[in-house]
Homo-oligomer: A and B are copies of this chain.
Amino acid sequence: MIVTVDPGSTVPPYDQIREQLTTMIQAGVLAAGVRLPSIRQLAADLGLAPNTVARSYRELESAGLIITRVGRGTTVSRLPTLPAAERQRLLRAAAESYLATAARLGSTVDEAIAALRSGA
């Protein structure tokens, strides 16, 4: 699954989808020209109404990140990806956020790392 949605979050599903796809496209993980799953397909996979996914795609399109053509699906547009330094900065930020959460749960750094390995 290319994207995941947490139904318990206060962040609306269409926003979660948009944010995750934005990250992947800007990081170059989804390269220019790659075809995204169809609206109906992704909606079915996530258990959402097609309209919800359509809204995410529509906003990505108006942001210039993807190109949609009726009858031909949706592809990632040709845009410069984030430089490696910026990707590294974002990874650091995510790491800090994870460590902060772990600390709030009373875990040490080693336990936090172990949780990563066990989940892999």
Contact = CB atoms under 8 A, between A and B. Distances in A.
Interface of A: 4, 10-11, 15, 20, 23-24, 27-29, 62, 87-88, 90-92, 94-107, 109, 111-113, 115-120
Contact of A106 (B28, B94, B104, B117): B28
B100 A4 contact: yes
Contacts of A119: 92, 95-96, 99
A9 B105 CA distance: 21
A66 to B, nearest CB: 15
5 contacts: A20-B100, A27-B106, A91-B107, A98-B98, A109-B116
Contacts of A115: 88, 91-92, 94-95
